[in-house]
A and B are shown apart, each in its own frame.
Chain A
């Protein structure tokens, strides 16, 4: 116990930017990655827009061997491999060596395994052709497919775990990786999450009537966290990845240190006290945030920036209330707050990791990205916090301490606290 945990590598496959330089530029410029999907109109979906990264499996040619890539069909594993390999390289490591790294592990999560693989299995089995499915389909059907590819590519020999906690998956993966290092189980962890929202997953959410349906004609305006016209979220796809390591280990190999993980918490509201399968128990959320601060050794007044969950649903107002109550900060005193989802939609299990990558970039490059589509803020939110704390333009800001939270179906919560890296912190 007692070791410090730092972030040394980042990788991202986001709807508004694949790779860190493109994503960083998109965050600063407030560029939306939400697109109109003609196919969704054909399928009679209410919502016909989504956040989809510009990515092809052939983008993995420099990471995976020809043999490994041949037979890989699924986008979701592809996103994960790209983000994780980029983070690994960004941390100053190399690929394709024969070494087995006993001190390094991986926690990577997703909500659903590869639906392209599942669809293929269903078609082949129904056509009585199961014997033609071949040897490569099961590895892509597994929820642990992404971690299996990542650990194989990097030669990871420590804990290799696939987590799943709906929309809290990504931030929970980062927290779990942090805890393994903090407790001395591992020295270094590759952490993150991936999600591919194909038409089948999309259709299931569409049926719940919780998606944005009024901006099919203006896709870039469809994701509107905290706005009066927020009418549901916009599903997105992608992956985010970070390399976390013990500070001493990072220093010993002269790694670039991007930020420090101070601590966090993951809990559940137990679907009690107003919490349900689909909405959080406020008491659970407040407890999660307060415990995260406590575990991180900081106080509410210390938070410079909140990267919210804020999906652009009716829950946005409750989330702001819960943050204000947890930090005991209201009005002008409320921390600057933004939602990456305004630009990329809600990437479900991938949301947490992509949004944490965004948060680390803001700490590193001293800025606060804008909330786009917030020209009409929700008046109920304006009663709790000053609108100036919800920036609509990119702001230059030296962020010392920032908090991140995600909340998922099943009433699960995760909150993390990050800081700028200070030698004597």
Chain B
């Protein structure tokens, strides 16, 4: 799946977790979820659960720990979609 398509879908997933809608509209792969979007670090868990539901994948805890910005979030999603589970 195209990285840009995933990025656009991710943008929708992130809506309820950030009040910084302008920053959300302008996200790119380097956008940091906590620093740039001011997402509460505890809520990253919820974003991961939403992404799992959206792509019918399972993101294990080790993979989840790699997620800090939009780009490595996309990496994990692509990796998990490719792996049989």
Contacts and interface: CB of A to CB of B under 8 A. Distances in A.
A is bound by B: yes
Interface of A: 65-67, 70-71, 131-132, 134-136
Contacts of A67: 16-19, 40, 43
A135 B45 CA distance: 6
B19 A135 contact: no
B46 interface: yes
B46 A134 contact: yes
Interface in B34-49: 40, 42-46, 49
A192 B40 CA distance: 29
A43 B16 CA distance: 36
Interface of B: 16-19, 40, 42-46, 49, 52
Nearest to A134: B46
A70 B17 contact: yes
A70 B18 CA distance: 11
B19 A65 contact: yes
B16 A70 contact: yes
Nearest to A138: B42
Given A132-B49, A134-B49, A135-B43, 11 more contacts: A66-B19, A67-B17, A67-B19, A67-B40, A71-B46, A132-B52, A134-B46, A135-B44, A135-B46, A136-B43, A136-B46
Q: Kindly name the residue among B40, B44, B46, B52 whose own CB sees the greatest number of chain A CB atoms within 10 A.
A: B46
Nearest to B20: A67
Contact of A66 (B16, B44, B46): B16
B73 to A, nearest CB: 16
Contacts of B46: 71, 134-136
Top 3 A-B residue pairs of the complex, sorted by shortest distance between their CB atoms: A70-B16, A135-B45, A135-B42
Contacts of B17: 67, 70
Contacts of B18: 67
Contacts of B49: 131-132, 134
8 contacts: A65-B19, A66-B19, A67-B16, A67-B19, A67-B40, A135-B42, A135-B44, A135-B45
Contacts of B42: 135
B44 to A, nearest CB: 8
Contacts of B19: 65-67
Contacts of A134: 45-46, 49
A225 B76 CA distance: 63
A278 B18 CA distance: 48
Contacts of A65: 19
A295 to B, nearest CB: 43
Contacts of A66: 16, 19
B47 to A, nearest CB: 9
A135 B18 CA distance: 15
B16 to A, nearest CB: 4
Nearest to B60: A131
Contacts of A135: 42-46
Contacts of A71: 16, 46
A216 B59 CA distance: 51
A65 B18 CA distance: 10
Nearest to A133: B49
A186 B72 CA distance: 48
A136 B40 CA distance: 11
A396 to B, nearest CB: 49
A71 B16 CA distance: 9
A320 to B, nearest CB: 51
A135 B17 CA distance: 12
A75 B19 CA distance: 23
A67 B19 CA distance: 7
Nearest to B38: A67
A133 to B, nearest CB: 8
